[in-house]
Structure formats: C-alpha cells, structure tokens
Structure 1
Amino acid sequence: MSSRSRTSLRLTAIATVAAAMAFPLLNAPTAHAASTAGGPITRGEVLARAQSWVDEKVPYNQSGYKTDANGTYREDCSGYVSMAWHLTDSLTTWTLPNVSTKIGFSQLQGGDILDYTDAHTFIFNKWTNKANGDFTYYAESNPNNPTHGPTAANINNASIEGWPTSYYGAYRYNHIVNDTTAGIGMWNPSDHYFHLRNSLSAGPNDKDFVFGATGMTPVTGDWDGIGSDGVGMYDSANHTFYLRNSPSAGGNDYTVSFGSAGDIPVVGDWDGNGTDTIGVWRPSNHTFYLRNSNTAGPADKTFVYGADGMQPLAGDWDGVGADGVGMYDDSTHTVYLRNGTSAGGNDYTISYGTPGDIAVAGDFNGDGKDTVSVWNPTTHYFDINNSNTNNDPSTRFVYGATGMIPVAGDWDGQ
C-alpha cells in the first residue's frame, strides 16, 4: 500500500496454515495540524483551505487580495491555488509548475491541480468514479463564477472550466503529503467474517460482514481510487482475485485471474496513480509479479526479492505516492524494505516484533508514510510502530482472536 494519496497504506498478514496476507492503500482527505508557509502540507489541509474560501464566498478579483486565517493571497485562480498550497506568495499559472511536478491525469489525488499555464488553474478534489473519469474540483474562475466547489466534471470531457481539457497539465505540489490513517480489522477463516475498526484500538467493531471462503486469503485496497479501501480475497488454488470496492458483503466488482497456484497475494499502488492493483509473490523462486491494473494479463513488473520463509510486504515507505516492496523474516523478526518495486539492496532493515508475529503495514498516524507493525496470534497484541526504525511500539492493544488474520485499511475514507 495511498498515497497516495493517495494514499497510502498497505498490509500483509500471513496465517500459519493459509499463508494469508493483505496490503491496503489509503488516500482520502482529512485536515491535520496547520502547516507553515512553503513547508510540507497534507492533502487534507489543502482541501480544507480550498473549502474555506468557498465558505467565505471570496469573490474573483485579479487585482484584489484576501486576508484571513490562511494568510494574504490574490483573489484569482492561481492565487487560490497558492493559498490552498500555503505558498509564501501568490504565484501565477505559469510559475506554479516551478513548485510542483507534472504527473499524469490518472495519478491525480486530492490537492493536486490541473494547470493551463497560459490562462487557468484549478484544484483537484477527488475521483467520484475513476473508471468513468468522474471527479470533483475547486476553482476561482471569473467574476461571474467566483470561488466554488466541490464541482463535478469528467476528465474525458472536451473542455473543463471553459478551456480544452488537452490544454491542461496535471501537477503535484512538491511539499504535499498524504494524510489518511489506517484502521485495523480481522478476517475469520472459520466463518468468513470481516471485523473492521476505523481506529487503532480494541473495542466494538464498526463493520461486521461475511465475504470470502475457506482457503482464501484476505486483501484490502483502494481498487477504484476514490480514497477509501474495499476488501477482497485471493484464492491461491485457482490463482484468482475477488475484489469489492467497498468494505461490505456483496458481489465482486473485479474477478481477476493472476499468478499461479501457491502464490501469495500482494496489492499496492505500484505506479503512483492513486489506485491499488494486484500482484503476487512466488515462494518457489522468490519473485514478485505486479500488475498496474485490476485486469488479467502479463505482469508489468517482475523481479526477484526475498528468501525462503519470508512474508512479502508492500507500502509507501518514503511517502512519494507509489509503493515499494518488503519482506518480513518471522524467524529473526526482521523487516527488510525497498522504496521501489525492483530487486536490489534494502533501504531499511529493522528488527521489530517477536517470533510468531504477523507483519501488518499501513499509515497508522497519517504522516503519509507506511510503516510495519505486528500482530501476535497467541497474545492477540497489535504493536503499532509509526516509524520504520527499531523503536518500541507507539501503540499496543489487544484485538482479534486465535485463528484470525489481521487486515488494515481506510474503511471510512478518513
């Protein structure tokens, strides 16, 4: 597993018999602590700042400036983006690319922008149906259409905001970070129930429902890129993924044959476009096979990583918006992580947990980076670690029961 934004969370959970695991991604806007001008800012804060000008009914005025709790910024389209990004000054449509990186339309996440450098820019809010191209946005357009949003549009339309869609480029602020947090949950192989919590604590479940079947492995991820995670199952016997866009019982939104019998599922946002897609790790040859879409077909990435007896992981360890891979060696309770999806040396080597633990990865504190935590099947302790270091757990609580398989995900999009 994002980031992100889409972020971005990923999880792995391997049961003793089923060798089960899951890796979700998180990517939804929630305002966090206020940023400083020109510094890192969460996607949630960008969108909260954008909404504040809608609430204040700020007019459009290319020569006027608005002063409020957000600072002082010009009352036009690029001044609006500058305010939302909390820049040190009001930039223009042709200078906003100086503080951002161009991305593909499919990679857009909340707080990114579409910018026609000669004339207009607006703020991407979220996908409402990514497969169809539907999304919402915020904009300062003209004196007759001042600050507004969230406004519906479609990325496939010939024009948006009065200009040809082909004139726009998608850009991501260089200091933006994902800001969603993972909840935890369990899947019970004996009765096929998911038990999900929106927070990191013991207590009543927020969702309980049946999904999957005996012998399957639970997975979670943001399959449709809208900012909250759905659930899924992987049947290793027939190497098929069954995925639901929501955390609920019901029919499958995607049924995808991928991999080979005996493979272990991994899911993540491999190309940084805000949508989680399928993959497998093959224990027999230590090879990852990853797909950039939730469809059958050849792997988009294939590489060797890991060793016998290890558990594969996926997560946005460095907060860049795309997932890397990792391995958990239960016998030595050591975590090995790579920032990319390739073979090579480890970017992080961490001692964490105790023998017998199941590794679980996710963005548990909303800082835009996935970290590796563990669940103990005997004591039922979740030990949540919010940094990829040898730190003691930041949070410990009892959750689940013997025989269950831990999962993590952003079930409520917050």
Structure 2
Amino acid sequence: MSTRHALSRTLIVAAAATLIAGVVTSTPTLATENDAPPSAVADNDRGGAGQGPSVAVPLAAGPQITRGEVIRRAASWVGIGLEYSWDRTYQGYRTDCSGFASMAWRLGTPGLDTTSFVPGGVASWIGKDDLRAGDALLNDAAGANGHIAIFEEWTDSSRTSYRGYEFTGSGVHHRTIPYPYFSGHGTFRPVRNNSIVDDDVDPGPGNVGIYRPSTHEFHLRRDDGTLIKIGWGTTGDLPVAANWDGGHADNVGIYRPSTHEFHLRGDEGNTIRIGWGTTGDLPVSGNWDGGHADNVGIYRPSTSEFHLRGDEGNTIRIGWGTTGDLPVSGNWDGGHAGNVGIYRPSTSEFHLRGDEGNTIRIKWGTTGDLPISGNWDGGHADNIGIYRPSTNEFHLRMDDGKLVKIKWGTTGDLPVSANWDARG
C-alpha cells in the first residue's frame, strides 16, 4: 500500500488556539507615503522603522503552518508596492516589520510586535544550527530599535549569510543578509514559531511486487525497474505490505493463517508480531486512523466484514461486500485516513468505500485477476489495479483512467504493492 497514505501519516494536527486579535477598522488597501505619519517611514534600507502596538496575549499560540507556506506568504508581499507604515494595514496586517512576520506566520491580525513573539508564547529561541526555512532572526527590542527577518536558506556552506525576507523602511525585500543581521542594528537571535511544522515530503509513486510462496521471497520492483529481494515467511503465509513504523518507505510482512498472526518486517529487519483474526480471514493493511504508521486488519468472508486494528489495539468493524468478494484497501480520496473496498470477481468490479460510507464503483480486469491498490502516479489519492496470473502482468489504473502494464513475476506468485523506495 502506498505511503501516499502518506497524506494519511505525515501531519499531526496541533491543538493550537488562534491568536486573539483586535478588530481592524481600516480598509486593507496599499499604504502610501502620504498616508503614513512622517515618523513611520524610514529613509534607510535596514533594520526597524517603528512598529504598531502588539496584540499579544499571555501564552498565545498561532495556528499550525508549514515551512513552505511561511515562505510563500512572505514572498507574496515582495514587489507589490507596499510602503512601511505602522498605522496602516494590508490584508489585515500592519505594514511594518513585525506585522509582516505575523502575516508570514499566519498569526492574528493586525499582528504582534518584536517584544511579544517570545513572551507571548508564539515563538521560542533556537540555535544557529537549528535554523530552517520559515524560522526568523529577531531583535526583540521595542519600537524602531526592534526588527525581524524571515529566514529562507543559507547562501552557502560557510553559513555567514542567508537569504531572507524582511520589511524595512525601503519596502519588502527578498535578499541576502549577513548572519545574524547587518551590523549596527542591535542584537539578533534565531527564533522559531512554536506552531511551525515540516512540509509533507512527496514520497513519489507507489510500485508493485510479488510474493513467491515457493521460496518465501518478496520480489519488489523499484521505480527504476530494479529488483529488491527479501526472504520472509514460510509455507502457507499470505503477503501484506505497508508503512509499519511511520518512516519514509513501506515494508513487507506476512499473515500466518495457521496462527492468526501478522509477522511484519521493520526497517531494521526486526519482526513485529500481532495476533489478529481467525480461521478463514484474509489480511489487509492501511492507515485506518490517519496516524503516522499504517496498521493491519482482516476481511472475514463468512460475514463480509472488515475487522481493522486501530493504533490502540481497538477494533473498527465495517460491513462491506458479499460472498466471493476479495478485499482491498487504500486512500481513495486523498484524505488523512485510508479506507476499504472489495473486488468482485463475478463482475470484475471494484466497490470502494468512501469516507462517508458511499460506494465508488470501477470496472477493471477480467476472470482470474487478483486486486491490488496503490498510488501509481504520485497524486493525492490511491488507485486500483489487477495482477493477471495468466500473463504475470500488472494492469494499473491511473487517475485519468489510463492503463499502465508492468510484467513482473511468474506462475504461482501473489501480488503486493507499496512504496519501496519512498523519497524523504
């Protein structure tokens, strides 16, 4: 199963309260020099030029925001003609240095001032070695003595200068700044928004593989067509694959019907054992609750029910399908959590369950085909496919309905799919 479940495993939603902000009555138009008080516009290019009052409250926290979004928001004010003023706003934020940083961090409007980011609980001091995109260099003095610049990246390995975004008396800039800041403008230290999170790493597309019962080996196909062999399991085992530990790449495992146990392979080759199911059950895997790691489950043909294991060992039951159906699982709509479905050999149809319990029907395959699912094209959602034992071919369905054929395996092999070489 693709780690584009991914969408399912990457973000922990932080419980961050939106910053309490005052009501802004001014119209969000561009400030002009004539509109600003004479003392509000600096005639130099660096450092602070005065600030409006902060709206900080004790232990305030901003909403969760990714590093990439901070940089995109900062860039959105570059080159659009904004002029420095501490009593005017644009998009609800003060057009001064700290209002600009508040906008980039998506804090409450009209924004904090430089004295309030850390005491207000919005940000924390960090070290130089910790600096990453979306962090900042802050001089937390008051008024025109204070200033803040958003950090983007180091200019080179010497780390003596960086690319950053800042709003000074001469406008909004994206430029190279000596670390920690231009001399003569006070003391600057690195700081981090307490609600910033890393961007999702695109793991790339999922891929296919087979489990060879005769040798108890997985033969997994990488993106470049090369082979990964992993010995795992014994006679009678059924293959599964997913992201058991929440890392970048997926891994393999087996379900042992004789003992009703999953034997999952960790990244280090260790075995994770989970007892689940009973006689006649068929194994499935997926990210049922949107956490970091995928989990296991079974499909019970005798009752047409999925029994899915949550992170806490709890059981999630879903009735789906009818006699003769084969189970599949995947993230059909690109949301946080995966879902289930069945493949009906009698009609060569997938009946996929949406988050709302709705049915998505897709006709794919022919008599004798075995169902699989994965993120074949690296998009947000997983898709379906079949493995044709008669020709040892995968027939994968893309988002646009197109067919991709991959020849892999030999007689007697069982299909698996996941993201074996995920980026990150």
TM-score range, shorter chain: 0.5 to 0.7
User: 2 CA distance for matches of 1:2 and 1:98?
Assistant: 35
Supply the AA of the counterpart residue of 1:120. A
Q: 1:43-99 CA distances to partner (integer Å, 9 max, x unpaired)?
A: xxxxxxxxxxxxxxxxx9899xxxxxxxxxxxxx98964355578836755786699
2:135 paired residue among 123, 128, 140: 140
Q: State the alpha-carbon separation in 2 of the partners of residues 27 and 78 from structure 1.
A: 13
Q: Is the Cα–Cα contact under 8 Å of residues 27 and 228 in structure 1 kept in the other structure? A: no
- 2:362 matched to 1:350? yes
Alignment of 1:60-209 (within 5 A): 81-82=68-69, 84=71, 89=76, 119-120=122-123, 139-142=134-137, 146-147=151-152, 168-169=194-195, 180-199=204-223, 204-205=226-227, 207-209=228-230
- 2:265 counterpart (227, 239, 244): 244
Contact 2:74 2:104 (8 Å CA) reproduced: no
- Whether 1:265 aligns to 2:280 is no
**Aligned-residue offset at 1:209:** 2.3
* Unpaired stretches in structure 1, ≥5 consecutive residues: 9-25, 29-59, 64-76, 100-115, 123-135, 150-160
Aligned mates of 1:62, 1:282 — CA distance in 2: 67
Q: Give 1:274 deviation, angstroms.
A: 3.0
Taking only the aligned residue pairs, the percentage that are identical comes to: 29
Aligned partners of 2:336 and 2:367: how far apart in 1?
31
**Shift, 1:290, TM fit:** 1.1
Q: Match of 1:111?
A: none
Matched letter for residue 414 of structure 2: I
Q: Give the equivalent residue in structure 2 for 1:6.
A: 6
- Give the 5 Å matches for 1:389-408: 391-393=401-403, 395-408=404-417
Q: Quote how far apart the aligned CAs of 1:180 are.
A: 2.4
SS at match of 2:295: coil
The correspondence of residues 257-336 of structure 1 with structure 2, limited to 5 A, is 257-293=275-311, 297-299=313-315, 301-336=316-351
- Report how far residue 228 of structure 1 moved: 0.7
Aligned-residue offset at 1:245:
2.0
Letter in 2 for 1:82: E
If the length of structure 2 is used for normalisation, what is the TM-score? 0.59
Distance (whole Å) between structure 1 residues aligned to residue 47 and residue 222 of structure 2 = 42
Please name the residue that 1:68 is paired with: none
Q: CA separation in 1, counterparts of 2:398 and 2:298?
A: 26
Name the structure 1 match of 2:251. Answer: 230
The CA distance in 2 between the partners of 1:362 and 1:121, in whole Å, is 40
Structure of larger gyration radius? 2
4+ residue stretches of structure 1 with deviation over 6 A?
Answer: 60-63, 170-173
* Larger RCO of the pair (alpha carbons < 8 Å, separation 6+): 1
1:310-368 deviation per Cα after TM superposition (whole angstroms, max 9, x unaligned): 1111111111121011110112110111122x7x440x111111111111100010012
Contact 2:345 2:366 in 1 (8 A): yes
Shift of 1:302: 1.1
Q: Which residue of 2 aligns with 1:17?
A: none
Q: Partners of 1:376 and 1:267 in 2: how far apart?
A: 21
Instruction: Give the drift of 1:251.
Output: 3.6
Q: Contact (CA 8 Å) 1:4, 1:27: kept in 2 or not?
A: no
Q: Kindly tell me: are residues 62 and 309 of structure 1, through their superposed partners in 2, closer, same or farther at Cα, counting changes over 3 Å?
A: farther
Report the equivalent of 1:374. 386
Is 2:3–2:250's contact at 8 Å kept on the other side of the alignment?
Answer: no
Partners in 2 of 1:93 and 1:139 — Cα distance? 12
Unaligned segments of structure 2, at least 5 residues:
12-45, 50-63, 78-99, 109-118, 126-130, 140-149, 155-189
Partner in structure 2 of residue 110 of structure 1: none
Count of residues in correspondence between the two structures: 295
Q: 1:140 to 1:406 in 2, by over 3 A?
A: same
CA contact (8 A) 1:78 1:121 kept: no
Distance 2:229 2:47 in 1: 51
Aligned residue number for residue 412 of structure 1: 421
- Cα distance in 1 for partners of 2:266, 2:47 equals 42
- Contact 2:5–2:330 (CA under 8 A) maintained in structure 1: no
Give the match's secondary structure for 1:142. strand
How far, CA to CA, are the matches of 1:350 and 1:269 in structure 2? Answer: 22
- Superposition CA RMSD, Å: 4.0
- Give the Cα–Cα distance (whole angstroms) in 2 for the partners of residues 251 and 80 of structure 1: 34
Number of the residue aligned with 2:273: 255
What letter matches 1:351 in structure 2?
A: K
1:271 Cα deviation after fit: 1.1
Instruction: Quote how far apart the aligned CAs of 1:369 are.
Output: 0.9
